[in-house]
Amino acid sequence: MIQLDASDSPDSRTLHDRLVAGIRDIILQGDLPESIRIPEAQLCAQFQVSRTPLREALKALASEGLVTLRPNRGAIVTPLDATLLSEIFEAKQAIEQFIGMHAAIRADVADLTALEDLHCALQQVAHRGDYATYTLLNSQFHDRLAASAQNKQIQKIYSKLQVQIRRARLVINQNPTRMQESALEHEGIMAALRIRAPLDLADRLVRHNKATAEAFMSKVQADRKRPVRI
């Protein structure tokens, strides 16, 4: 998981934080079908808390955009449609541009070594064809790159956009060849980062994002026709 605030202690100090993180994880694992009422009572039982803190957590997640509150009709996991997804990729492009321009200049030694390590692992995993691990490491790689831009606001925005995309992965069957392409693009990204080339890095990140977006969007129409889950 992404560590944005230093306030995020090992067991997430407050009940509120634990609930927000917990429900977010449940949604990201796809264990809460979208578009249907989130069972407040069930979650209360699951987390062993009363409705008050649970509802507070849901309001916070709503403010994040992950759930939608329908007055008097409960909360639902915000449905992901093609429009929303394409807007998210578009917004992410703007952020990636920024990350490229600034990470190339601001990344410190710790960032660079961490990124090299992740990159190395990614290439091996891509070679093995382990898609699940690739997705995980890929997330970590891009989060670290976002952090290298040294702007907490951007990091937060990026993280929220990534959450939605991670959620989309649940319902979209990924094209396996995309992983190989992605790994190739990552070589270019690392090359640009190593020589600290802002324009090149930004350009490669934007193109990487576009390629991922296209791979996603081409599958959206096909996959979303089928029943979403359960």
Partner DNA sequence: GCTCTCCTTTATGCATGCAAAATTAAGCGA
Partner DNA sequence: TCGCTTAATTTTGCATGCATAAAGGAGAGC
Q: Kindly list the residues in this chain that would bind DNA in the complex (CB under 7 A).
A: 14-16, 37-41, 48-53, 55-56, 69, 71-75
Segment near a second copy (CB under 8 A); pick from 27-35, 145-153, 176-184, 222-230: 145-153
Classify the C-alpha dihedral 106-162-81-171 as positive or negative: positive
DSSP of 103-172: HHHH--HHHHHHHHHHHHHHHHHHHHT-HHHHHHHHHHHHHHHHHHT--HHHHHHHHHHHHHHHHHHHHS
- Pick from a second copy, DNA, none: which does 50 bind, CB < 5 to 8 A by kind? DNA
- List 21, 30, 47, 64, residue binding a second copy (CB under 8 A): 64
124 in contact with a second copy (CB under 8 A): no
Compute the distance between CA of residue 66 and CA of residue 75 in angstroms, rounded to an integer: 10
Structure tokens at 21: 């993180």
The listed partner (a second copy, DNA, none) that binds 40, CB under 5 to 8 Å by sort, is DNA
Query: What secondary structure letter does DSSP report for 13?
Result: S
- Do 163 and 24 meet the contact criterion of CB atoms below 8 Å apart? yes
- The residue from 90, 116, 187, 214 that contacts a second copy (CB under 8 A) is 90
Write out the residues near a second copy by the rule CB under 8 A.
13-14, 16, 20, 52, 55-57, 59-65, 69, 71, 84, 87-88, 90-91, 93-95, 97-98, 102, 151-154, 156-157, 161
